[in-house]
C-alpha cells in the first residue's frame, strides 16, 4: 500500500512534480498498478540472466565532435560557449 506521502516522495525523487489536486488520483492508480505487479511474487527461478553478447567493445579511435554551435543549438540558454543551467548552491 502506497500512501500519498510515498507518492509525493517518489515524485520528488523523479523530479516530476505532483500537484495536490493530482495526488489522490495518482495514489489510487498507483496502488491498483502496484497490486497488479505483485503477481511477480509468484515468479520462480533464480536463473542468472542469460545474455548472448559479451565484450562488445570499440577501438580507442578519435572521431569528430560536433561543432560548438551544434552543441549549443538546442540549448534554451547559453553564455560564452557554456550551457546555462540552474544554480546548485
CA 20 to chain centre: 22
Among 1, 20, 21, 88, binds another protein (CB under 8 A): 88
Cell of residue 16, nine digits: 516530476
Which class for 7: exposed (0-12), middle (13-18), buried (19 or more C-beta within 10 A)?
buried
Q: Is the dihedral of CA 35, 39, 42, 47 positive or negative?
A: negative
Among 3, 5, 22, 24, binds another protein (CB under 8 A): 22
Among 1, 20, 21, 40, binds another protein (CB under 8 A): 40
Does 21 participate in binding another protein (rule CB under 8 A)?
A: no
Interface residues toward another protein, by CB under 8 A: 2, 6-7, 10-19, 22, 26, 29-30, 32-34, 36-47, 49-51, 53-66, 68, 70-77, 79-89
Amino acid at each position: 500500500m502506497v500512501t500519498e506521502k510515498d507518492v509525493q516522495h517518489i515524485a520528488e525523487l523523479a523530479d516530476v512534480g505532483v500537484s495536490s489536486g493530482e495526488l489522490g488520483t495518482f495514489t489510487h492508480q498507483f496502488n491498483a498498478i502496484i497490486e497488479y505487479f505483485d503477481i511477480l511474487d509468484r515468479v520462480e527461478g533464480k536463473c542468472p540472466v542469460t545474455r548472448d553478447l559479451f565484450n562488445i567493445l570499440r577501438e580507442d579511435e578519435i572521431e569528430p565532435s560536433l561543432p560548438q554551435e551544434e552543441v549549443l543549438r538546442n540549448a534554451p540558454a547559453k553564455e560564452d560557449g557554456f550551457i546555462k543551467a540552474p544554480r546548485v548552491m
